[in-house]
């Protein structure tokens, strides 16, 4: 069978329309657009991060250090941020997929937007952890040399940003890579 | 008629008028009933969501092709679980029956790359090279060259079988 023959058969095929249930369901989605797409469920890595944070907080409270409450709050803030990042991925991906004049342009535009989102995933946890660390320095004035202060600050920022990016940006990164591949494939049509 | 009723009727008209395009595209890009349902829902959702972006300087059907194909390309591997599933039993059975027929026709085409499949879909939909080029954002001459290559490849596939 050649493509022309397939075309002839294809064009004779009748189409199934929308049933009333489908229309109702889709309109229901439209009405609830937004937070419905947040429900992606918890994965093992998210559960692991909550578990580790809980142990960390319990341990801090048990040790009853001068900074225990502060670091417990910081840990809780980081975990909440991590959960939000994780759950918002589907919403962001849909939100940032835009339709431009044609498919090629749509891919380019979406890739640019997703690249920006990935940088946000990389930078925001680092900014947040640096801010929290700065508050700690101002609030508790630890007896540390400037070198140690910088070293600890950089290590905290890098590890929080790295972990957050690896664990909470999984879907965005996958989607981004897929769009890049599609763009390259589409560009190969122009060769 | 209230604003919400009017919006709802516009959405329903948009979907029902273009049900054929969406239906055939979903068969092209899905391999089973679940994927079909997910993709149909995702395309419908994206059409509704971006309806306001449609500019009257192009045909509505061309815009529908662009949005639907782009959605199929970028969302086919992602399965939106948050949506209420479509439970209409009669429709489900009709789709399952139809899958076998479509798979027979589109078996070799489904083995093509995502972008080649897109070209073939538009060709099967009887779109002109100009329309295909406009939808995909490539030149008309490239559409012709690429389609000829695909035709040759498919011919070889069928010969081998």
Q: What is the pLDDT of residues A11-46, one digit of tens each?
A: 877 777 777 777 777 766 655 554 444 444 556 667
- Tell which of A2, A7, A8, A10 to mutate to test the B interface (max B CBs under 10 Å): A10
In chain B, residues with a C-beta closer than 8 Å to the C-beta of A103 are 66, 69-70, 73, 118, 135-137
- In the numeric block, the tokens 């009727």 are attached to B9
pLDDT digits (tens, 9 = 90+) for B69-126: 998 887 765 444 433 444 444 555 566 666 666 776 777 788 888 888 889 999 999 9
A2 contact residues in B (CB cutoff 8 A): 151, 154-155, 158
Distance CA(B28)–CA(B120), nearest Å, equals: 10
The structure tokens listed for B56 are 């009257």
Rounded Cα distance, A126 and B40, in Å: 40
CB atoms within 10 A of CB B82: 15
Interchain proximity B95–A16, CB inside 8 Å: yes
Residue B45 to residue A29, Cβ atoms within 8 A: yes
Contact criterion met (CB < 8 Å) for A22 and B88: yes
Would you say the C-alpha torsion B124, B67, A117, A51 has a positive or negative sign? negative
Query: Which pLDDT value is given to residue B79?
Result: 46
pLDDT tens digits along A64-85: 888 889 989 998 988 888 888 8
Higher pLDDT, B68 or B103: B68
Residue found under tokens 């591949």: A181
Taking alpha carbons only, the member of B117, B125, B149, B122 closest to residue B133 is B122
Instruction: Give the closest-approach CA distance of B108 to chain A in angstroms.
Output: 10
Indicate the pLDDT class of residue A191, thresholds 50, 70 and 90. Answer: low
Size of interface A-B (CB pairs under 8 A): 164
- Burial status of residue B2 (CB atoms within 10 A of its CB: 0-12, 13-18, 19 or more): exposed
Percent over 90 (pLDDT), chain B? 9
Separation between Cα atoms, residue A188 and residue A186, nearest integer Å = 5
How far apart CA A125 and CA A122 sit, in angstroms, is 7
What is this structure's pTM?
0.77
Nearest neighbour of B114 by CB, restricted to A6, A30, A185? A185
- Residue of B17, B28, B41, B31 lying closest to B121 (CA atoms): B28
> Which of A20, A21, A106 comes nearest B70 by C-beta?
A106
Q: Please list every residue in chain A whose beta carbon sits closer than 8 Å to the beta carbon of residue B70.
A: 97, 99, 103, 106-107
Q: Which of A39, A90, A102 sits opposite B66 (nearest CB)?
A: A102
Residue B111 corresponds to which tokens in the numbers above?
A: 């083995």
Torsion of CA B117, A101, A11, B152, to 10 degrees: -40
Q: What is the 3-state secondary structure (H, E, C) of A57-106?
A: HHHHHHHCCCCHHHHHHHHHHHHHHHHHHHHHHHHHHHHHCCCCCCHHHH
Find chain A residues with C-beta within 8 A of B80's C-beta: 37, 90
Residues of A (111-170) whose Cβ lies below 8 Å from B: none
Query: Are A49 and A167 within 8 A, CB to CB?
Result: yes
Cα–Cα distance measured from residue A142 to residue A136, given in angstroms and rounded to the nearest whole number? 8
* Structural tokens at position A124: 């925001």
Query: What was the pLDDT predicted at B123?
Result: 92
**A81 inside 8 A of chain B by CB:** no
Minimal C-alpha gap between A82 and chain B (Å): 20
SS3 category, B94: helix
């Amino acid at each position: 069978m050649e493509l022309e023959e397939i075309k002839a058969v294809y064009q004779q095929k009748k189409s199934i329309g929308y049933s009333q249930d489908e229309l109702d369901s889709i309109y229901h989605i439209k009405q609830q657009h937004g937070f419905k797409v947040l429900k992606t469920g918890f994965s093992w890595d998210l559960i692991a991060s909550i578990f580790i944070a809980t142990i960390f907080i319990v341990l801090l409270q048990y040790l009853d250090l001068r900074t225990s409450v502060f670091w417990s709050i910081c840990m809780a803030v980081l975990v909440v941020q991590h959960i939000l990042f994780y759950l918002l991925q589907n919403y962001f991906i849909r939100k940032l997929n835009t339709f431009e004049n044609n498919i090629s342009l749509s891919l380019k535009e979406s890739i640019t937007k997703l690249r920006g989102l990935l940088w946000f995933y990389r930078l925001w946890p680092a900014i947040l952890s640096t801010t929290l660390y700065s508050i700690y320095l101002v609030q508790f004035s630890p007896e540390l040399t400037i070198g140690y202060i910088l070293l600890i600050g950089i290590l905290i920022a890098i590890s929080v940003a790295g972990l957050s990016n690896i664990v909470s940006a999984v879907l965005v990164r996958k989607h981004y890579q897929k769009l890049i591949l599609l763009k390259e494939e589409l560009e190969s049509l122009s060769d | 008629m209230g604003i919400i009723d009017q919006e709802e009727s516009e959405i329903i008209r948009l979907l029902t008028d273009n049900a054929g395009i969406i239906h055939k595209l979903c068969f092209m890009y899905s391999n089973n009933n679940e994927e079909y349902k997910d993709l149909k829902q995702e395309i419908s959702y994206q059409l509704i969501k971006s309806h306001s972006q449609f500019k009257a300087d192009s045909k509505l059907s061309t815009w529908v092709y662009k949005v639907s194909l782009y959605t199929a390309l970028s969302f086919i591997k992602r399965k939106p679980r948050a949506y209420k599933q479509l439970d209409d039993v009669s429709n489900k059975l009709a789709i399952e029956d139809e899958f076998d027929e479509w798979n027979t026709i589109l078996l070799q085409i489904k083995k093509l790359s995502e972008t080649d499949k897109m070209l073939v879909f538009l060709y099967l939909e009887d779109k002109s090279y100009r329309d295909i080029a406009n939808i995909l954002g490539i030149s008309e001459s490239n559409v012709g060259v690429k389609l000829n290559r695909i035709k040759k490849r498919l011919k070889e596939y069928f010969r081998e079988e």
